[in-house]
Structure 1
């Protein structure tokens, strides 16, 4: 260890005052960036918390009931310069905390039909299902797969994959939620960031849809047989493992979302139909399918 001359004097001459402790100079630019990031993160989190409080604990709500809070988030995003797409904040797994999308969905219990869930690509379209979006990580089918509501990053050969994983259960009379069939509908897309005069925009080109059972159904022959009986005869693309996939036409649906506020961990966007959503970054359980996706983002 190297000692300074002052430290050497203090050690050999006890009466000599000890040298002042060594202090490393702070990098002004780096310190300022860290400070501003902390301030921005705190302000954006406060605005999003206000929106969640306005929803009164509901995770699916009519937009007009929270419009002032949405306007507040938009104002904060603009003030902080967070009303734009930041590429570094795109990759990863996210779960929904709030949505104003209530089209053809019963708000009381999140039920809809298979047609609404799959853009009428899978049948029987009138099959009643209960959605597991925007309900947090404890929803049974999601807890089983570890898949998030939204994943952005490398996926099946697409460097800019955009996947919506909607967990659901088939509602059957006389059966408890645990005994019902559980599945996942995956909307597989690619995202693009136009930039230029549209800094807040992200376009989403949907490529295919996938319907499949969760492992608790796929690995139980009796439950898998029930799944196949319900869906396979109506969906030619479905294989004996219960997985069906439909390719969407090249001129198929393209969505555009605009970010009112995008920070690293919390993001608020508005979709084509005016629905507003809060998405929060999520860490899937270790060893799960979701964790494998997040790991792919780091490579």
Structure 2
């Protein structure tokens, strides 16, 4: 029985993988939070991996506090770069298959057409820099690894934009949402299924892949759909990013092209509205 290690088990993606794992009992699943797999402590991490001895690693663990990363650069890089580097080296040395999750924040947002896997990376914040450094190390240490870039992740688990909107729209009469950042949301359950589809596939084609749901929206437009599905009465107003300053800059445009992952692995990529509706039906 193959042993699959999932890091970041308490996160949105890790939690959705746990739900799906109950349908794939032919694998021995190891779900590890930061106490079982400590990404910011190299020596401890090495010992933990040697003890677990996985056949497949799904590296969903990351430092994801985008604004906080501006003042916690060392910690962000320890987790998103050095931790990934060590995991990739372990996977290479022990013939372990590795799927590592990355982000649209490796881009600067200056594109106007969907970004493919060959698009130039140029992060504009510390979080994005740390994630790009992780990608580079992952490929260098383990050319056989698979990296999946995703964007705007949400789920019934954890903290995310959809859950924040649901709460605010029930608490307030009106809210403001940024209307000049474009991309596509990703329902973590869809991404989890795509990852398992790759694991289940008879082929292993290393490299970078993109995965998000289909459709291009701004955060404001996404909020309107959330309001519609939730049947909330709250008024929603679109505002420019300049009216909602954050410590870390955000890419203005980060729509990902999914052509490669669909062509090679034939994974399902639902429209963002269909996936959001599915989330609303799960209680």
TM-score of the aligned structures, taking structure 1 as reference length:
0.28
Compare the two structures and name the one with the higher helix fraction: 2
Name the one with the larger strand percent. Answer: 1
Normalised to the residue count of structure 2, the TM-score between the two structures is 0.29
